[in-house]
Amino acid sequence: MLSAEIKTENLKTIVNVISTLIDEVKFTISREGMVLKAVDPAHVAMIEMDIGSGAFDKYSYDSEEDFFDIGMDLEKIKAIIKLASLGDAIKLSMDPKTGKAVFSIGTITRSMNLVDASGIMTPKVPNLNLSSNVTVMAEYLQKGVRAAESISDHIAIDLNGNEFRLSCSGDTDDARLELSGDEILSIEVAGPIRSLFPLDYFSNLIKAVPASTEVTLELETNNPVRLRFTLADGNVSVAYFLAPRIE
């Protein structure tokens, strides 16, 4: 049994990030918090998220087991979040024995059936040795994908020296975002790096991340990119993997 309370904006951000890939998710719940690993149906992208108990205003785990798994429909949670106002806290309880989750927002209470977690696959996290990385604000990445969306269905990421570039080319138009100097929070480059990625996956994730978030991209030419960032004042850590398109 889990009983917890969380700020609406924290729950909304967590759900929005996960739902860029999947509609149903399996959470592994323990005294330390909640963990999930999920891959999209096309196996193009994967997410690993660790939601520490500190992400909640209140968190109470009551079970003889060290952990238990539950499955949830994210669209139903989104509908519940819409009932809350900015600044509201959402109370929730989940009990795998009853197969129910209960959400309370002020005078409103909603209950839902949990999804059978045994039918949701837990993917294996790839062990990637990526030689280069760059950390920038999500706000810059959001500007870059907005510039690219009407031009192409893929986006290129380049690292060279102390420069970071997002670019795309279409039949008649092209667009690029170039960052250097103070616009880059940190950068480590082992030679020129260039990879192509599907724009829709990259864009959907970046749009779900708060603009003020620091995002680290770990790269190797023609290898998956791993994006790392934290949410809820550092209490939620996210690793997002996206497969490349080979030129």
| Nearest partner of 113 among 105, 122, 104, 103, judged by Cα | 103
Q: How many residues does the chain have?
A: 247
- pLDDT tens digits along 176-198: 999 999 999 999 998 899 999 99
Confidence of residue 29 (pLDDT cuts 50, 70, 90): very high
Rounded CA-CA distance 29/84 in Å is: 24
How many other CB atoms are found less than 10 A from the CB of residue 172? 6
Rounded CA-CA distance 80/23 in Å is: 15
What is the model's pLDDT at position 246? Answer: 73
What is the model's pLDDT at position 68? Answer: 94
- pLDDT tens digits along 73-127: 999 999 999 999 888 999 999 988 899 999 999 899 999 999 999 889 899 998 8
Classify each residue of 223-244 as buried b or exposed e, where b means 16 or more C-beta atoms within 10 Å of its C-beta.
Answer: bbbbbbbbbbeebbbbbbbbbb
Whole-model pTM? Answer: 0.93
In order of their start, the domains of the chain are: 2-119 (3.70.10.10), 132-242 (3.70.10.10)
- pLDDT tens digits along 122-179: 999 988 999 999 999 999 999 999 999 889 899 999 999 899 999 998 888 999 999 9
